Structure formats: structure tokens, C-alpha cells
Amino acid sequence: MPLMKSWVASANDANHPFPLNNLPYGVFSTEGTEPRCGVAIGDMILDVSAAEAEGLITLGDEPLFDLPFWNPLMEQGPAVWAALRERLTALLAKGSKEQDKIEPLLVPQAEAQLHMPFAVSEFTDFYAGKHHATNVGTMFRGPENALPPNWLHIPIGYNGRASSVVVSGTDIRRPWGQLKSPDHDRPAFLPSRRFDIELEMGAIVGTPSDGPITVQEADDHIFGYVLLNDWSARDIQAWEYQPLGPFQAKATATSISPWIVTKAALDPFRCDTPPREVELLDHLKDCGPMLYDIELEVTMAPEGKPASTIARTNYKEMYYSSAQQLAHHTTSGCPMNVGDLLGSGTISGPTKDSRGSLLELSWGGKEPITLETGETRSFIEDGDTLTLKGAARGDGYTIGFGDCTGTVLPALEDPYAR
């Protein structure tokens, strides 16, 4: 599919992340106004709430955009999702007869503040990247026992905290927790010293289910995708994770990018999962291209200094797709809700510079990385800003998500002071 031309000139730049082919969904406000639903087009935002109020977008008897999140649209299902995309395309396409009505409803992105684009119902994070799982397993168990026995058969995951999911630009406070070093008999309650990121994609469930669904049904239920940073306190994690897995190490925050890129926008970039080393059971088998060719990168910027790119990888490196993760999640009969968020797991590639976490990049702190400023890092220091970027590149256009950024603040001096 080539670039679709818009009358919004900036949307026709081949390198701009928000062409007419994209039309991602977000929530924004401007000075003196309340947050409301909007669609990114070029360097502008279409005020969808206003367009609906003026009768330019009508998708049913009741308004869908009178609240500052996209869950009401998700609840309408795929047919309404498609109808909105078709209507937005008609309104914003070059030659649109309604340009004069829509143009006053555009807001420059530079003047807008972005908010959480949807209300997160529940959050589940997975451990589904083979390169990441192999690297971490090799560090802690040796190469012969790198992957757990179940890893090649099911997408492993854990239930996280929906309450700690935040939008890009939210500062992240370094957490306190129990740390246990090998040379001490007892743990100590201290700020994390090995604070880290995980480069992930997040899939948003748009259709609820109450019982097992197939991989194809799961793919149909996904509304869209965001970039996702699973902030991780590795030292807290090392002490707490046995026998039930991650808990407080992952509860500090999970950052997501501000724009939901719909599955329809990503369809031209579908690709297959990697070859299977072990045949999956029937209920998890691939039924078509379920991954996406999305280039990803991570930058780190020390306080007041320029950013350095520390990793580049691609979403197609995942071993399990989000559809397989969602299908597996439902096998026990677990209900899935509109607005559930599924983290892909860390997306690492086969080379050192394609590792999606500092744990891997510095090999557990033994091999610090050097930034372009000349500074070194094993893990995140206070004042560092970490940014995830993602783009799918088509014929003369780019599909972007908006940056997923967070700056780490020092731990509280006394976490219990009031």
C-alpha cells in the first residue's frame, strides 16, 4: 500500500509518523481545556470529540467520544472500529469536500498535552522473546539451562498492576525494596541500585471474552498496539522472584506511548513468527502472520546531555505473537475485558546492540555500555531519560507511535514520611 495523500500537508512527508495511513488514537488537552479524544494527522490533532458533537462523525445513537478515553469505541466492536477509520479517512483525505468543516477542529500537536489514551482494565506481562529469555537464562543458569522446560510450549506471563501504567512523559521514581546481596545473611530495605527498562510492545484488548478463544479469534479481539516500557528493579526481582515470579520489582511503573496504533494501520506489516523448535499444541499453533515488522530503538540521555541510541531491534523477533498470548490467557476460562493490556515481553535481537534491556546490554553489570557522552552505564542512574521509539516503514510513508519516554527521579529519602 502506498502513501495515502491528505490535505494536511505535514501528513504527506514520507518520514512523518502520522500519515493518513496511520490515524492513531489518543487523548489530549490544551491550555484551559479538559482532556478529550483526538486523532493524530501529520503535526496536527483532529478533535474527534468536537467532530462528533458537530455531527461530522456519527457512529450510533449515543455519543462515543464524550469521555476522555477510547474504551467506549472499543466496546462497539470491529465493525464500528472499521466505520470510524473509513469516516476519518474520508474527512482527512486530499480532496475531501468537508475540509472546511474539519480544518477548524485541528489543534497543533506542539500546543497539546497528551494523556493516557485508554482506561487500563488489567495488565499482564509476558516473557515471550527468545533472545531475551536465552540471555537472561544464560546469565543466571548457564547456557545449558537457559530456557525453562515450559518456555518453548507456552508464552509465560504474570499479572501486573494496571494502576501503575502511565503515559509517556510521566517521571518515574526510583523504588525502595528488599535487597539481598550474596555477602549478607539478611536482606536490607534500600532504594533499588539496579533499575532497568524492558523494551516491549503492548497489545490492547478491544473485545471481551468469557472462556477460551482461538488464536484467530484473539487476533480479531485486539484493538491496537502501543510501545511499552516495563520498568524493572533487578535487585528487588532477584530476591523476591522465587517461587512465584515478579512482584514489587515490576510494580513501580509501566510506561506506554501516547497513541494507540490500530491493527488496521499495521496490517500491511504483518509477518510470521520465527520457526518453531518444538511443535506447539493445537490451541496455540500459528494460523497466519500474527507479528509485525516494526523497527524499535532505545535511547538514553543523562540529565542535561544529549541522548545516545543504546539498542535497535524489531518486533518480529518475538517468539510468540500477542494473539497467541491472548489465546493462552483465556485457556483456563479467564475472562478478558475491554481495555486489558498485554505486554509482549522484552524484545531483543540476536546481536549485542539489539538487546532490549540494560540487564542484557551490560550483561548483568559486568560489561558497562559507553554512551556518546563518554559516560558509562550498567543500569539507570538518577536523572537519566529513557525513550523507546518504534516505526513501521511502508511505500513512501511511516507508521509511528509517538515516543515512550520516562525520566528517573531519585528515590524518596524516607518513603514513609508524611
Rounded CA gap, 323 and 398, in Å?
A: 24
The helix or strand, by DSSP H or E, that contains position 308, with its residue range, turns out to be: strand 308-314
- DSSP letter string, 239-252: HH-TTT--SGGG-S
**In this structure, which long-range contacts are made by residues 17-21, counting pairs with CB atoms below 8 Å and at least 24 apart in sequence?**
17/391, 17/398, 17/399, 17/400, 17/401, 17/402, 18/42, 18/43, 18/259, 18/400, 19/397, 19/398, 19/399, 20/89, 20/92, 20/93, 21/265, 21/394, 21/397, 21/399
**Three-class SS state of 323:** helix
Contact predicate 18/400, CB 8 Å? yes
CB-based contacts of 154, cutoff 8 Å, min separation 6: 284, 328
The radius of gyration computed from the CA coordinates of the chain, to the nearest angstrom, equals: 22
Quick one: cell of 70? 477510547
Considering only the C-alpha atoms of the chain, give the largest distance between any 2 of them, rounded to a whole number of Å. 74
- Indicate if 115 belongs to the active site: no
How crowded is residue 336: how many other Cβ atoms within 10 Å of its Cβ? 22
The catalytic residue among 16, 115, 131, 132 is 132
Catalytically active residues, by annotation: 132
